[in-house]
Amino acid sequence: MSVLDRKLLRDLRRMWAQVLAIALVLACGVTILVLAVGAQRSLEDTLDAYYERNRFAEVFANVRRAPDSLLPDIRALPGVRMAETRIVGQVVLDLPGLAEPAAGRVVSLPDFGDPALNLPMIVAGRPPDPDRTDEVMVSRAFAEANGFVPGDRFAANLNGRKRVLTITGTALSPEFVYVLGPGAMLPDNRRYGILWMPRRALAAAFDLQGAFNDVALALTREGQAEAVIPALDRLLAPYGGAGAHGRAEQASHVFIEGELTQLRAMARILPPVFFLISAFLVNMVLQRIVSLERGVVGLMKALGYSDAAVAGHFLKLAMLVAIIGIVIGWGMGSWLGRGMARLYTEFFEFPYLVFQPRVGSYATAAAAGLLASGLGALQSARRAAALPPAIAMAPPAPPVFRRGLSDRLAAFAGLSQPSMMVLRGITRWPGRAAFSVLAMAAAVAMLMSASFFPDSLDEIIDTAFFEQNRQHAMLILAEDRADDVVEDVRHLPGILAAEPLHAVPAILRSGTLSRRLAVEARDPDARLSRVTDAAGRPVEPAGSGIVLSERLAERLGVGPGDRIEMEILTGRRETLLLEVSGTACIHFGLGAYMDRAALARLLRKPPQVSVVNVAMDPAQADALYAAAKNTPGLAGTVLLFQTRASFRATIGENVLITTMVYVVIAVLITVGVAYNSARIQLSERARELASLRIIGFTRAEASYILIGELMALAILAQPVGWILGWIFAYAQVVSFSSDLYSLPFVMNPATYARSSLVVLSASAFSALIVRRRIDRLDLVAVMKTRE
């Protein structure tokens, strides 16, 4: 090992605390890059393999009742490689040990062989016997949540006929990676599951012998969903087609794409912040090392070391710091990645998901870390290489100070001498002080961008469950019914109030922009379910107008007073021209709302009911549940109080984990900046502090100069951090907003206070660590050192 390399190791050992502080900040950037890129690629690889092996379809369509003889025409459509018809329906389930009714989506299996598309992967047991009408295969998550194993039994209301079914096996399907029941906001595997039954049994149960109500297509390489969907719609329209859609609008796939989008944003936004701060810290530390080792640099050159060797020595120090951070980041990224993979397999229905980041993600993270550290060291290395030996071995010229504005302001304010020294220390190196402020402000901003989530969660719960959806339960009907069904519901035990809702599948268009969704039509006097604006005021459609959610209006580029087209996807598939009468603030999905009677007039038929919203007496809940399990024509129930509890528990746990991660990150940034700043100030001002001690200043007064400068910078960072935090949080709200959900932007004063408290506490902790060195200063030894 060369002499310079041995010196390098001694420097690392001497500055281990500063090196570790910088390395941990850089490790955060490496960790996030490895984690986000690795998780994204693992998720993409898993999806690609799963979709391909299990033949996930690319186009889907529902129809009321179409003859099997239509299948050859569908297969003959240009661009279609494979087509398969099915029978699909919603059923009410009576599960052992569960008082309230559960629900399920039942999907037919071919009478012979495996499905051509959307092939279920059997996890345990076997498929149901095609010749049996009482056997069923269920989704794995549903079985695990209810403790089912092959051989267990439960009851199902199949199109008004209750039947006891025997579980033959459990399975997974690429079509149901993310399982969300009708009207639900989060998966509830205990009360909603996927069921597979033989087609013959389902055809008899739903009166669909020789017919189908669902079709899935796979396309050729040249086939385009945009061209196939209109042709398929034309074929299915006479039979009650509800409009075909591509994989991009398939419910399960949409949620997974949303997760991938967030991972891409994480990998793109967060790591550069850490790498930039790391570069600043390396620059700050090496600048001080070069200043302190001027004589050593001169001696190295006098002994014959070249400029490149001297510069390389300091660059090696920066590279070693980077390597330490990279190794830590690799380890943390891999460990957290495996944990994220486990979470994905719990939250999403994957058959497998192994976190296997490619070598490229490690290499990219390492290259970014080395580049950041190298750029931070470049200026100091060039400065050391440029020093002539004679000048380097001589003491540096003392700095020239003049009374400036800060001195006059300090004198005017009557500041004490130590306070004036604190102010001069900040103004003497304004660039370094400014970057320290920005770095600590970034820590505040990160905390704010995580801490606002609980406030947003409370706002979502208040708006969605107490202002808009105030019903206790939603009874979802198997098909649209006349108004007399509401009166039937009112006669069920425990019902205090019942209100109808008609959901109509439609495509809303404005110019070239369009969205496919279910338009909800309510009565004007509805109180259990309503929509409100951003101020919480109820919004009602005017006459035959339509109210759009704010995000839907934005997607369509329209506002109140504009006109849009609404193509009805059922019945006669009419196209209506409607005026947008207002906008509403909702947080789940894209909503469109009309008056039920006005919609019925436009469609020239009596008002219809798809869902009945009810308020119920909790004391009679069990009697109502028992009645619902045996009510014909009921496709499912949604209990809002359970949805609210599940939403709060699931999202609350994720928010807690996210907040803790951001707290750790913010503390690492603050400690890295504050500790290194304090150590450098101590090395620069040790002679001053020793002089003050000798002339009679106490330890507390001498420490105040060091701690005061650091805490002054930390305090200055707070308003800057508040502004950056507001911007970061708002950017997250915008980036997370999608057709599925949106976050309200809520920033309470407590969020500002909590974020500042964490950063100020971390700054004070770092300063107190360095203060201990002031107490141990050898005054005689310090005074013997040359300036």
Per-position DSSP letters for 309-368, written without gaps between them: HHHHHHHHHHHHHHHHHHHHHHHHHHHHHHHHHHHHHHHS--S-------HHHHHHHHHH
Predicted pLDDT of residue 785? 55
Beta-strand relationship, 513-522 and 592-595: parallel
Sheet with 211-219: strands ordered across:
80-86, 211-219, 59-67, 245-246
695 pLDDT more than 80: no
395 pLDDT more than 70: no
779 pLDDT more than 60: no
Residue 32 to residue 30: CA distance in whole angstroms: 6
DSSP summary character for residue 786 = -
The three-state secondary structure class of 94 is strand
Residue whose pair of structure tokens reads 């419910």 in the numeric block: 251
Q: Please state the separation of Cα 194 from the chain's center in Å.
A: 26
Task: Flag the least confident range among 3-12, 134-143, 221-230, 343-352.
Answer: 343-352
314 pLDDT more than 50: yes
Rounding to the nearest 10 degrees, give the CA dihedral for residues 321, 323, 326, 327.
Answer: -120
Residue 43 to residue 46: CA distance in whole angstroms: 5
Predicted pLDDT of residue 775? 64
Quick one: residue 243, left, alpha or beta (phi over 0 = left, psi -120 to 50 = alpha)?
left
Task: Flag the least confident range among 199-208, 209-218, 438-447.
Answer: 438-447
| Closest alpha carbon to 80 in 116, 121, 119 | 116
Task: Flag the least confident range among 250-264, 313-327, 698-712, 744-758.
Answer: 698-712
725 pLDDT more than 70: yes
| Closest alpha carbon to 263 in 33, 484, 19 | 33
Read off the pLDDT band of 397 (50, 70, 90): low
Average confidence (pLDDT) over 81-101: 91
Compare 331 and 270 and report the one with higher pLDDT: 331
What is the C-alpha end-to-end distance of the chain, expressed in Å? Answer: 33
Average confidence (pLDDT) over 512-524: 89
Given a contact cutoff of 8 angstroms between Cβ atoms, the answer to whether 329 and 26 are in contact is yes
Predicted pLDDT of residue 19? 82
Residue 81 to residue 648: CA distance in whole angstroms: 44
Sequence-distant (≥ 6) Cβ neighbours of residue 583 within 8 angstroms = 533, 539, 547, 548, 549, 550, 553, 559, 560
Read off the pLDDT band of 654 (50, 70, 90): low
786 pLDDT more than 60: no
Given a contact cutoff of 8 angstroms between Cβ atoms, the answer to whether 537 and 544 are in contact is no
pLDDT, tens digit, 9 for 90 and up, residues 544-582: 899 999 889 988 999 999 999 998 888 778 889 999 999
Q: Please state the separation of Cα 699 from the chain's center in Å.
A: 49
781 pLDDT more than 60: no
Locate all alpha helices (DSSP H) within 633-698, ordered by sequence.
640-694
Task: Flag the least confident range among 4-13, 354-363, 402-411, 715-724.
Answer: 402-411
Quick one: residue 246, left, alpha or beta (phi over 0 = left, psi -120 to 50 = alpha)?
beta
Highest-scoring range by mean pLDDT, 35-39, 606-610, 699-703, 737-741: 606-610
86 pLDDT more than 90: yes
pLDDT, tens digit, 9 for 90 and up, residues 150-173: 999 999 988 778 889 999 999 999
Beta bridge partners of 705: none
**E strands of 544-591, at which residues?**
546-549, 563-568, 575-584
Average confidence (pLDDT) over 445-461: 80
Read off the pLDDT band of 407 (50, 70, 90): low
Q: What is the mean pLDDT of the chain?
A: 83
Sequence-distant (≥ 6) Cβ neighbours of residue 40 within 8 angstroms = 260, 263, 264, 267
Given a contact cutoff of 8 angstroms between Cβ atoms, the answer to whether 552 and 741 are in contact is no
Sequence-distant (≥ 6) Cβ neighbours of residue 269 within 8 angstroms = none
The three-state secondary structure class of 726 is helix
**Residue percentage of the chain with pLDDT more than 70:** 90
Q: 695-721: b or e for each residue (b if 16 or more CB lie within 10 Å)? A: eebeeeebbbbbbbbbbbbbebbbebb
Average confidence (pLDDT) over 258-276: 77
Predicted pLDDT of residue 56? 94
74 pLDDT more than 80: yes
Compare 36 and 775 and report the one with higher pLDDT: 36
Residue 230 to residue 236: CA distance in whole angstroms: 10
Predicted pLDDT of residue 125? 93
| Closest alpha carbon to 574 in 506, 630, 480 | 506
pLDDT, tens digit, 9 for 90 and up, residues 6-35: 888 887 887 777 788 788 888 888 888 888
Predicted pLDDT of residue 787? 47
Read off the pLDDT band of 685 (50, 70, 90): low
Predicted pLDDT of residue 764? 84
All domains in the chain, ordered by first residue: 54-254 (no CATH), 429-470+641-787 (no CATH), 495-616 (2.40.40)
Average confidence (pLDDT) over 725-754: 81
Task: Flag the least confident range among 17-26, 189-198, 346-355.
Answer: 346-355
Residue whose pair of structure tokens reads 């399907």 in the numeric block: 173
Average confidence (pLDDT) over 176-180: 87
The three-state secondary structure class of 578 is strand
Read off the pLDDT band of 496 (50, 70, 90): very high
